Amino acid sequence: MTPPPKEAFTGLNAQKLQFTHSDIVCNIHDCEINSLIFQQKTPNHRHLSWKFEYNRCISSHTLHLIPHSAICKNATEIITENGLLCQRRLELEECICISESGSIKVSETKSSILTIGDCESVLLPEKYRSKLRALYLYRIQSISIKSLPETLQKLEILHSTIRFEASNLLQNINEIKLSGTIVEEISPKAFENGFIKSLTFNQSVL
């Protein structure tokens, strides 16, 4: 048996993916893929559509369990030019703002899932191109959405203020969830041609 390759989840179109309490052959030195698969617990502030929890690494030769402490699980940490501190775990990228003020323009990413939080202002610009499947934004004072990736299937906003500033924004999205969120503006025809399987407003203001 061989460890799963880094490209195993690239381009995967899965609305829900769970790997939990499973034994998986791993390379103990491959920090990036290990940081995704062998998380002990998904952070509590959100419920991601892709979940990797409590998995165990086993030897490819003996199939015996390898101690968790012997595995490199360090995510790739970067600081972007626009003031985001991000941890990349292959298809999952988790970012927080480290700039105290100013608008953060979301850069394109190769990840399938992106989370951004604790920001003053976040902008998804016009013609935003990415292969994102799910986007989570939380604790942001002002979110301005001018476009969304064509591949995006899930949008979740938590404890934020948001403006939908363009038409035909939601043509490909299956699920939208707003919790504890203020919707300041919805442009005319913002939801036109949208076919949404699940639309949730929870403790929000519209």
DSSP 15: S
Whether residue 150 lies inside any domain: the answer is yes
Give the confidence band of 79 by pLDDT, cuts at 50, 70, 90: confident
Domain annotation covers residue 1: no
Give CA–CA dist 51/109, Å, rounded.
Answer: 19
- Does 197 fall in a domain? yes
The predicted structure's pLDDT at residue 140: 95
Name the residue with higher pLDDT: 197 or 1.
197
Q: Is the pLDDT of residue 12 over 90?
A: no
Bridge partners (DSSP) listed for residue 202: 179
Predicted confidence at residue 39, as pLDDT, reads 81
- Residues 97, 14 within the same domain: no
pLDDT tops 90 at residue 117: yes
Residue ranges making up the domain that contains 144 = 76-202
Residues 99 and 138 reside in one and the same domain? yes
Pairing relation of β-strands 92-97 and 84-89? Answer: antiparallel
DSSP per residue over 68-126, as a string?
Answer: GGGS--PPEEEE-TTSEEEEEETTEEEEEE--SSSEEEPPP-S-SEEEEEEEEEEEE-T
180: closest CA among 164, 196, 156? 156
Q: Highest-confidence range of 30-34, 66-70, 125-129, 201-205, by mean pLDDT?
A: 201-205
Domain termination site, one of 14, 38, 70: 70
Identity of residue 185: E
Using pLDDT thresholds of 50, 70 and 90, give the confidence band for residue 43. Answer: low
Give the number of domains in the chain. Answer: 2
The residue ranking higher by pLDDT, 90 or 156, is 156
Q: Which three-class secondary structure state does DSSP give residue 6?
A: helix
- Tell me the percentage of the chain whose pLDDT exceeds 90: 45
Boundary-marking domain end, from 70, 88, 119: 70
Same domain, 38 and 123: no
Final residue before a domain boundary, out of 23, 45, 70: 70
Per-residue pLDDT at 42: 58
Which whole number is the average pLDDT over 32-44?
78
pLDDT at 45: 47
Q: Give the pLDDT score at 23.
A: 95
Q: Give this prediction's pTM.
A: 0.86
Backbone angles phi, psi at 143, to 5 degrees: -115, 125
Domain of 197, CATH number, reads: 2.160.20
Q: In the prediction, which pLDDT does 96 show? A: 93
Report whether pLDDT(185) > 80.
Answer: yes
If one compares 82 and 202, the residue with the highest pLDDT of the two is 202
Over residues 22-29, the mean pLDDT reads 93
Q: How many helices (H) and strands (E) does the chain have?
A: 1, 15
Q: 103 and 192 share a domain?
A: yes
Question: Lowest mean pLDDT: which of 27-36, 58-67, 125-134, 153-162?
Answer: 125-134
Give me Rg for the CA atoms of the chain: 18
